[in-house]
Amino acid sequence: MSYFTEDGSEAAVLSRLADDVEPRFREMMQAAVKHLHGFIKEVEPTVEEWGQAIQFLTATGQMCDDKRQEWVLASDTLGVSMLVDAINHRRPDGATENTVLGPFHVAKAPVRENGDTICLDGKGAPCAVTGRVTDENGNPIAGAKIDVWQTNDDGFYDVQQPGVQPDMNMRGLFTSDADGRYDFITVKPLPYSIPTDGPVGRMLDAMGRHAMRPAHIHYIVDAPGYEQLVTHIFVKGDPYLESDAVFGVKESLIVEFEPDGDGWKADFDVTLKKLS
Ligand code: BEZ
Ligand code: FE
């Protein structure tokens, strides 16, 4: 047994970890204590500064409910969500890359036919999005489920504006045809701000960072026997591609949106990785 000292702080805490603790939890607690104590020793906070840190953590938790997840937003804006995603979705070259899910996915999007629109509020110029779902050898994957969602032409998700936008506006679940093809009508997405009315917004402000995300359309693609793909397509030329507030942009996900008659068109092929 040893009493707590500044130098021996980490050992003092870890000596209380029981021998029969579940091994993975043990590994995580050991690392958490090591890095937390390392952080404190590096920055040597004053008592007031540590109080402010506790206040930030408290406010972040208090902002969370079934509609708002400030902790996920904190994880996203500190690059942690993208790091966890990268570690868990290492893919071979050629397979479509993952990116962050974000908080605005809604289960049970309306099932739609290829060629249908997802825009229920009539705002914005139409944009046709087409593509093919294939395996890593270019073989079509028929029957893949393609769940898409985005903000409307005012830059908000339907769930951010209940009673203003129609329910399930800008959402749809499509199915690839026998040749792996899918297509839907939407509007060209716009850049938008993540929520800034909570502690994460204040943190970004204090860090001298903006809260903008470059324009994107979210995708979840599922097919039996293949790894689920959670991704976005980003609009080429968007001013926020290199400073996305949540670090979600990958080069391979940037797509050209071209003028097409009175609207726009974009094409994005999806390559799924086989489950091993
Ligand atoms: C989104 O793209 O919907 C999103 C992602 C992370 C944080 C906030 C919003
Ligand atoms: Fe989004």
pLDDT value at residue 29: 98
Using the atom order of ligand 1, give the atom closest to the CA of residue 105. 3
Q: At 244, which CATH number?
A: 2.60.130.10
Spatial distance between the Cα atoms of 270 and 272, rounded to a whole number of angstroms? 6
pLDDT higher than threshold 70 for residue 168: yes
The DSSP bridge partners found for residue 145 are: 175, 222
The DSSP secondary-structure symbol of 160 reads G
Nearest-CA residue for ligand 1 atom 2 is: 102
Structural domain includes residue 51: no
Structural domain includes residue 26: no
pLDDT value at residue 68: 87
Nearest-CA residue for ligand 1 atom 9 is: 102
Question: What residue spans of 173-253 are helical by DSSP H?
Answer: 199-206
Q: Which residue has the tokens 């020793």?
A: 41
pLDDT value at residue 117: 98
pLDDT, averaged across the chain: 96
pLDDT band for position 1 (50/70/90)? low
Pocket test for ligand 1, best of 71, 81, 104 (most atoms within 8 A of CB): 104
pLDDT tens-digit readout, 66-108: 888 999 999 999 999 999 999 999 999 999 999 999 989 999 9
Ligand 1 centroid, distance to 97 Cα (angstroms):
17
Using the atom order of ligand 1, give the atom closest to the CA of residue 157. 3
Using the atom order of ligand 1, give the atom closest to the CA of residue 101. 5
Structural domain includes residue 63: no
pLDDT tens-digit readout, 185-234: 999 999 999 999 999 999 999 999 999 999 999 999 999 999 999 999 99
Please report which helix (H) or strand (E) contains residue 267, including its range. Answer: strand 263-267
Cβ of 100 less than 6 Å from ligand 1: yes
Q: How many domains does the chain have?
A: 1
Structural domain includes residue 37: no
Structural domain including 100 reads: 85-271
